[in-house]
Amino acid sequence: MVLLTNGRPKHISQGEFEIGVNEAGSISTILGSCVATCLYDDVARVGGMNHFLLPEGIGNTASFGVNAMELLINEIIKNGGVRSRLCAKVFGGARMIAGLSDVGARNAVFVTEFLAKEGIKCVGQSLGGTQARRVEFWPADGRARQRLLGETQLVEKAPPPPKPVSNDVELF
């Protein structure tokens, strides 16, 4: 699988995943409350990244945690990875909007519990907070780099609109 296009990382979005086998290339994504899991087998030099939106949902789409994890694991195994050697690095799960349910925290809990239940060692994580992240991952050797993208302004409630100022004259 070729990941590089003119030396650029392969970008994935919500509900997508990508793997690399013996490649020097990288995979990247941008996260808010979503979570990206970077899985790799450094002996087989195969790995990949997913980007899921919610921990659970209806349908067999990679936008939901369990489906996203299983699709990524299965594709890595199909390409020579061994499940018992898989290591993970997880990113995302930020709280982007105050006052709404904290989807980011639910995503973070899901991914850490999933990895523990499946016996996959989590060797690095950056979960939570209020900042978006840009993540780049090199699947052949498991290197990952994160850049925080600025503090999100949490708004509890929008202020009421100002009362209109009027210079009209009302005649009876």
Beta bridge partners of 40: 47, 87
CA dist., res. 32 & res. 94, Å (int): 5
CA dist., res. 119 & res. 121, Å (int): 6
Active site residue 38: no
Cα torsion angle, 94, 24, 70, 14, sign: positive
Pairing of strands 131-138, 121-127: unpaired
Residues tagged active-site: 34
